[in-house]
Every structure is written in structure tokens, then in C-alpha cells.
Amino acid sequence: MKETILPTGSLSFLDRVDNLEKIYRDIIAIEYPNVPRESLASLESFWTVIKHCYNLHQEGLSAEATLFFYEKIFCNEDYIEKYELEPQSRLYRIRKTEVSGLFSKEEMFHIPFDKRHLITNGRYSINGIPSLYLCESTYICWEELGNPNFDTCNVSMFVNEQMVSVINVAPIMKAFDKDKILKYPLAYVCSLGTNHPEGPFKEEYVIPQMLMQCLLIHNKRNTKTSYVGIRYLSNKAYVQRPLFPLNEKKDLKRYFNYAFPAYGPYDNDGLSKKLKSIFSWSSPDTYGRYRLRTANMSVEERPTTDTYSVSAFSQIENWCNVQWAHDNMLSYNSWEGALSL
């Protein structure tokens, strides 16, 4: 896998966008010198719109910025990539605790709507709107939470019961598909690291949050086609030094995240009826509790290549799979129904 082209350092968001535009233009000129003029013009237009939307937001005109982004970027299929999450895909969520207690199964879903005052500022979060953040591996969940004590983290596995359409802003590797050169820039812009990770406002979140708002606008205006969420590559695990390096393309899968806004209407428990109809999930467990119930693998049994397969993250993922099957088996009235899962 080649390195990322994302600019690093403490430059402002607009300065990094300028650098990114230059780097991307140079790469296209070298790798694909015969790109049609129309595509190059579309690229120039993209960078101009992104900067304009950001400046409008900074002037306090966030509504105008979002509608302009919706018209110029979101509604242009050249810039937006659709991804289909196959049914029965396995995703994970972790909640950290200071002690070794367990959350209820419902508490592993998104923040209930009646507790939306607890929602913090996230890359794809909109103030007051809960979102369900899921990852394709427990490892990346752990990275996103800042590497808490894994022994006490509550882990649940989520399985989508139907095909799920999402916006894909994940391909930020320097391995271009010439047919997608107009789709990559949005992924790059949405993946810039934060200069002030502890600050309440992060300028790098302006465009990703705008993208999520446009998704909600689109779903409100279009009853035939809709996106359930956004798929993206974890910034923390990629920009920083990951525990499991990206040696091969197949390794990239465990670094993907998903943000699913909690659409109304809501059940009595404050959870999105739509998301509950899409996902089934397992009761939470912790690696510490799991480890107490299982024997440790001997050194001689450990593989020398695929170290992830014997890691704590892989073990808890396998256990979540067993727990999910058990939980969903209980929802059937007969063994025949259970075996049809």
C-alpha cells in the first residue's frame, strides 16, 4: 500500500486544502496526463466550492453554505461515491467504562433522542441529532476511543439485516482508480486530522458535518433513493501509527468506520425505529470477562504472520459473533426458525 497524500502539520484547514489541491493536481498530471479537460475543470470547480462553503460557514452563514454544498457537490454524481454494505455484514461498537460492569443491550445503540443533550461534537455528528457509529473491527473502535483499558470495554456486534446504501468517503490511499479521480478529493477533505483534538470546535469537521446534513436533506427530498449513512476510513488509526500496519490491501478493511444518523420516528426507548429495523446486535461483553472464561493460547500456537487473528480484538469479535447468534436465536419460536439465520 502506498502512503497517504494527506497534508500533515499545524497549518489551517484552508492552507491544507490548498496544499492538497496542489499535490493532487501534480499526481494527476504525472499518473494520468491524458485526463479530459472536462474532468480537470470539474476538479478545479470542486476545490473552489469547498473553500467557498468553508468561508460561508466561518461568516456564520452555515445554512447558505450547506445548501450551496448540496447543490454543487452532493447532487453531482461525479463527486459522490455510493457503497452498498452487503446484508449480514459484521460491524462493532465499543463503550468504555472505568469499572468492569456491563451496559444493557439497548445502551450499546445510539444515544436516545431524549438524551440528545449528551451528544458531543463528532466528525460526522450534527448537534442534537444522535448517530450510531460502528466500525469494521473492534481494534478501530478501541483506537477511536483513545486506547482505553480494553479489558473493561463493553463490546457488541451489529449485523445489518438488509442491503444498506451509504456514501463512501473512504478511499484516501494513494492508489488511484482513474475512473474515480473526481470522487477521491471529497474523501481527502473529510479525512484531514484535527489541529485541536480537545477543542470544542474543530474546523476540520465543518465539511464532513456539512456532508451529513446534505445526506439528511437528500433523504427528506427523495423518497425513492436514500443513504443510510457515511462510510469513511479512520483518521486516527491511519494518520497515527497503527498497531496493525497496512501491509496489504485486505488489511484496509478493518480500518473502516460508519456513521448512521438516527432518523425519526423514535420508539418509546428513544431509539430510531429505522436503524432498529436495519440492525440486530449482540448483548455486550468485555474482553476481561471473556478471558476469565477461556484458556490463553500457548506461545507455540500463535501464528507468525496474521497476528490480528490471535489478538484480543479478533477473539472478542469471534465471541460477539457467538453472542449475536444466541441473542437472535431467542427471537424465534422454533429451532427450525433459528437455524435459518
pLDDT tens-digit profile of 55-82?
A: 999 999 999 999 999 999 999 999 999 9
Which of 156, 47, 34 has the alpha carbon at shortest distance from 95?
156
Which of 112, 124, 91 has the alpha carbon at shortest distance from 278?
91
Q: Which of 201-210, 252-261, 275-284 has the lowest mean pLDDT?
A: 252-261
What pLDDT does 126 receive? 84
Residue 53 scores a pLDDT above 50: yes
Rg (C-alpha) for the chain, rounded Å, is 21
What pLDDT does 6 receive? 66
Instruction: Report the chain's mean pLDDT, rounded to a whole number.
Output: 86
Place of cell 449480514: 88
What pLDDT does 14 receive? 96
pLDDT tens-digit profile of 138-170?
A: 999 999 998 999 999 999 999 999 999 999 998
6, 44, 156, 251 from 135: Cα distances, Å:
22, 33, 11, 14
Measured CA to CA, the distance from residue 217 to residue 102 in angstroms comes to: 37
pLDDT-derived band at 225 (thresholds 50, 70, 90) equals: confident
What pLDDT does 122 receive? 86
Read off the DSSP letter of residue 71.
I
Determine the distance from the C-alpha atom of residue 316 to the mean position of all C-alpha atoms in its chain, rounded to a whole number.
Answer: 20
CA dihedral of 296, 301, 304, 307, whole degrees rounded to 10: -30
Model pTM score: 0.86
Give SS3 for 84. strand
What pLDDT does 80 receive? 95
Place of cell 453554505: 65
Residue 187 scores a pLDDT above 70: yes
